[in-house]
Amino acid sequence: MAILLRLIQQFQHAKKSEFMDLEKQFAQLEHRGLIPRGERMTPISGREPGNTLIWQCRFDSLAAAEEALKEIEASPEHTDLVNRQKHFFTDTWVEFYEVLDY
């Protein structure tokens, strides 16, 4: 069963530029193959406010998604960026979705 992992981060609106500059560095880690490559979105219209970043990635199973989270957390480069970016967070959470393949 395919799983969609979503990491939702709400950040201080006044710090959007600084937050996004660091987010570009996370994308560079993905391009270098150090962490899974996902896609990033910000809402135009929807439930979440405009100061929200959504990162999502598809995995073949829940176990694979959970293992990817462990690998991400173990990455020193990722940890360094999180420690620099976390000061801009107002809220953050992880969601898992089962992809229905009818």
The CATH number of the domain holding residue 49 is 3.30.70.100
- Given a cut of 70, the residues of the chain with pLDDT beneath it are none
Crossing angle (nearest 10°) for helices 16-31 and 76-85: 170
Q: How far apart are the C-alpha atoms of 102 and 98, rounded to whole Å?
A: 12
86 residue type, one letter:
K
**H/E run at residue 79:** helix 76-85
pLDDT for the residue numbered 39: 97
Number of domains in the chain: 1
Note the pTM of the prediction, 2 decimals. 0.91
Whether 29 contacts 78, CB under 8 Å: yes
Whether 89 contacts 7, CB under 8 Å: no
pLDDT for the residue numbered 41: 97
Range of the domain at 49: 3-98
